[in-house]
Structure 1
């Protein structure tokens, strides 16, 4: 009886703990809300590469021009994400969340009425700015609501984004193919819903800041490492960025150009080719969800390695598979490779604790930026060499994942944190 009373008192104490206190548990309602907005944001952003075949045919664009559109949206997000993250680390600002979705709303409204190549470029830049504003602060909200389950929390956050990306080919099939670019007007409604949810999240975010607990923990974690440790951290983050670079280029090759390869190789229509891209991205969303809990159990570095090394042999087989096995391989590769998407962000946060916005903006921003740069380069190569040879070259990229073993282990990162006195 006394034990039960004690447990009841403990539970009551935890429930009365102020927001942001060390006793805070995982706040699933906020995680689900921010994941939902991530789904809205990334489904909107991902329709841009998904409509490339439509843009190419309707505006008579070259592959290089297609690459510039991808570069415009992704590089805008890449440049601005670390800037937004750095600013928010200095001065957390909840209003950034709904403002960012407002940029996305504007971009899709402009796209619906775009009648020239330049108008398309301007509209996708607005969408990129909205994404740049959302991702660092969305990752911070996930971190704030995580409690002790950071891998799971980051997976819940990221799975919304990857699920949104996976919907883009289907949205293209159902909306843009029948209605053309004017179909983008429907996405302004999705952005408007995102703004409403962001206002709800921003209010919770503001209450967390007012409690003071979160800011105190971040200030305690934000300590400059000693010079020897700083060199090790710099080397590790540089290698991590290389791995993000490799993964982003491969994903860009599939998301931006593989539909063209399917049309050329198997004679598929644009509508049918989008189904195969959906399989890759939908499986990636599922992999993202399972990746976080698996990383919590088996180690983040180990999961990053397996996501690259496990996908490498399948990626090498993909260019030579028939249509049936192409669908199977794309599904498996998507699941394996994107299982480390959220884990990479959490690993970077462990490398540089106390700077959640900057680190999240750097890693996810690089994912967009490198993907955009990759699409630009690949578009130029495809104009010169053709789609199929370039896809064959890209199949070797996951092999570079072997360098993951040069990253410090999770255990070593915890030792570094103790040595520097910066444990969160």
Structure 2
């Protein structure tokens, strides 16, 4: 990549657009929660709709990432955002579950196009504080996730799901800003990017098992994160909390996660990626169980602490993935922010089925165990300083040229 000096205004626009983009990513959990409590959907059907969006938006990200690394498709950021906004604004008028799943899958392609390009632009804006810069970008996305229930849950609960049309306006604004102000940088040159076959061979090398361990950690974290976003609205509303109070609680918890992302980036730059991932997952599991076991303000505080700990490693895993594939940072972003998250989203549909059989409480307790598995995997990660995938790619390219 040919990284020019990216202006503060352009980076700010990317941060804002990420907030709007991820607000849409948490759109369907609010819609399905209202439909489930209105007996228009089962929990398993609702989670399957959400999983369809998550899988579509996530699995496609590495593909978009590879295309971006090869050709630098800047337009992905604004077209992807507008595409998702338009489709999600239509969902309140769809009563057929299969059709709703189809629209959700199509909408997911919009965020799949946005994330690798935007993350690559942001990742190239800083060399010395990459963890902190990326954590700020991720934090804005998490803030968007937090805003969604606070705004949409009361809207759908009080006025009906037909008001989804309102959702088109934030996406339209973000798309316009991206069109005019997104960084106009040359993200890559086709001849400089590794051939797809070489890249896949390099990624598949046994010495690069770090990438697969990292993806496994992201998958486990995604199951918990997506599961909480899906089940918390149902959990609180089923306990007769008002839609406004429920939205505010989830907003506070996810905002804490956004703050955790910034703190995690700062800590990882100074004390290492591996310790941050290990201890944050341990803390997340303990705090979540405390939230479930207790009641009142203390339980809400523990929910915030758990979310903060869970998401503190979000930006860290993106940075590690980019360090593993330094010549293809958009692909790396797509794998860590997309593919792995999509696999986690698929698993959430199983959690929804579990909730239908054993209840919401049992499903949430199951979720709270999962960070412990991620912590165990983190033990086996190497220091990012020992990883030199870019050298492997260079060697492979050199060998190919000599044949």
Compute the displacement of 1:191 (Å): 0.9
2:37 corresponding residue in structure 1: 57
Compute the displacement of 1:360 (Å): 0.8
1:409 corresponding residue in structure 2: 383
2:398 corresponding residue in structure 1: none
Compute the displacement of 1:83 (Å): 1.1
Q: Of 344, 349, 359, which aligns to 2:332?
A: 359
Compute the displacement of 1:229 (Å): 10
2:268 corresponding residue in structure 1: 295
d(CA) in 2 for partners of 1:173 and 1:71? 19
d(CA) in 1 for partners of 2:232 and 2:7? 39
Compute the displacement of 1:165 (Å): 0.1
**RMSD between aligned residues:** 2.8
Please tell me whether residue 189 in structure 1 is matched to residue 162 in structure 2: no
Q: Measured at CA, do residues 341 and 109 of structure 1 come closer, stay the same or move farther in structure 2, by a change above 3 Å?
A: same
1:96 corresponding residue in structure 2: 76
1:317 corresponding residue in structure 2: 290
- In the alignment, is the contact (CA less than 8 A) between 1:27 and 1:145 conserved in 2? no
Compute the displacement of 1:228 (Å): 12
Q: Measured at CA, do residues 95 and 419 of structure 1 come closer, stay the same or move farther in structure 2, by a change above 3 Å?
A: closer
1:378 corresponding residue in structure 2: 351
Q: Of 239, 251, 261, which aligns to 2:225?
A: 251
Compute the displacement of 1:91 (Å): 1.5
Q: Measured at CA, do residues 26 and 91 of structure 1 come closer, stay the same or move farther in structure 2, by a change above 3 Å?
A: closer
1:142-179 deviation per Cα after TM superposition (whole angstroms, max 9, x unaligned):
12322433212211221111000001110124422222
Compute the displacement of 1:375 (Å): 2.2
1:397 corresponding residue in structure 2: 370
Rg larger for: 1
For 1:119-138, what aligned pairs fall within 5 Å after superposition?
Answer: 119-138=99-118
Q: Of 148, 152, 164, which aligns to 1:172?
A: 152
* TM-score, L = length of structure 1: 0.84
Q: Measured at CA, do residues 226 and 184 of structure 1 come closer, stay the same or move farther in structure 2, by a change above 3 Å?
A: closer
Compute the displacement of 1:373 (Å): 1.3
2:139 corresponding residue in structure 1: 159
Q: 5+ unaligned residues in a row in structure 1: which ranges? A: 1-18
1:322 is paired with a residue whose SS is coil
* TM-score, L = length of structure 2: 0.88
d(CA) in 2 for partners of 1:418 and 1:116? 51
1:335 corresponding residue in structure 2: 308
2:400 corresponding residue in structure 1: none
Compute the displacement of 1:74 (Å): 0.4
Q: Measured at CA, do residues 239 and 182 of structure 1 come closer, stay the same or move farther in structure 2, by a change above 3 Å?
A: same
- In the alignment, is the contact (CA less than 8 A) between 2:54 and 2:345 conserved in 1? yes
d(CA) in 2 for partners of 1:106 and 1:122? 14
- In the alignment, is the contact (CA less than 8 A) between 1:76 and 1:129 conserved in 2? yes
1:276 corresponding residue in structure 2: 249
Q: 5+ unaligned residues in a row in structure 2: which ranges? A: 396-403
